[in-house]
Every structure is written in C-alpha cells, then in structure tokens.
Copies of this chain bind each other. A is one copy, B any other.
Amino acid sequence: MMVKLPAGKPGKGELLNADCPSREVLKRLTGRWSLLVLIALKQETLRFSALRRRIGGVSERMLAQTLRHMEEDGFIQRTAYEVVPPHVEYHLTPLGREAESRIAVLADWLENNLGRIMQHRSAAAGETAVGNSE
C-alpha cells in the first residue's frame, strides 16, 4: 500500500495523513516529557540528576527513556565521562535547538495565556453543570 502525500516536496511530511512518518516524530516531540526536556536544556548542559530536579514530577525511568528517544531522533546529545561515580551530560544539538525555539513559541504563549484558558474552562464546567451532570 503506497503512502500518498497530497502535495509532496521531497522529505516533506503531512501531519494530517495517518501514514506519514511525521506522526511518529510528532508523538515523540509532544510526549509528556520531551517538550519539557527541550525547555530545560534550552540554555544549559545538564546532568541526569540535575535535569530530573529541573523537570518537576518526572521519574527516573521516564526521563531515561525520553532522553534515549530524543537522542535517537537527534535532538539532544549525550556525553558520558568514564569516571566513577558516573557523570553524564545532556545538551541540545543544532536540530534540538531549532525544535526548541518552535516549542518555546508555544510554551510561552501557553504560560502567558494560562489564565485565560483556565478561566474559560471553569466557565464551561459551570455551564455544563447547569444543564446536566456529566
């Protein structure tokens, strides 16, 4: 079964197409933690534990997994120093920085408009409560 890309330039993805590999990448990029890793690494190179402290609520397992995936996709670079105790650092690659800048646009907007959104959500919840109990 061929994957048909509606107006395809080479290497160009189509997110609305279920068969497009961009879906896969999107999934990774918008995963619960990936995006936060990008933000956390925006300016500084960080060690595993520092990163973990920086990103509230992430477990060791998930952070490790997320970092592995992001390294695979080329967003971050992992540098391990062969010492004991181990010392591992993570920092953004050029690709990662490009992605981060786009993510930041969204993140900044979200942080600055959080009030508006929460407000709307409360209002919506109130209205629903009037008419039914869902």
A: which residues have CB within 8 A of B? 10-23, 25-27, 29-30, 32, 35-36, 39-40, 54-57, 71-74, 95, 98-99, 102-103, 105-107, 109-118, 120-121, 124-125
B22 touches A114 (CB 8 A): yes
Instruction: Give Cα A36–Cα B15 distance, bound, in whole angstroms.
Output: 7
Candidates B12, B116, B117; contact of A111 at CB < 8 Å: B12
Contacts of A35 in B (CB 8 A): 15, 26, 30
Known: A106-B103, A114-B11, A116-B11. A39 touches B16 (CB 8 A): yes
List 8 A–B pairs whose Cβ atoms lie within 8 Å, in order of A's numbering: A15-B110, A21-B114, A23-B57, A29-B106, A30-B30, A72-B124, A73-B121, A106-B106
- Counting every copy of the chain, the complex holds 2
Of all chain B residues, the one with the shortest Cβ separation from A120 is B74
B118 touches A18 (CB 8 A): no
Instruction: Give Cα A32–Cα B121 distance, bound, in whole angstroms.
Output: 20
Candidates B111, B115, B124; contact of A15 at CB < 8 Å: B111
Closest chain-B Cβ to A46's Cβ sits at a distance in Å of 12
Contacts of A107 in B (CB 8 A): 15, 26
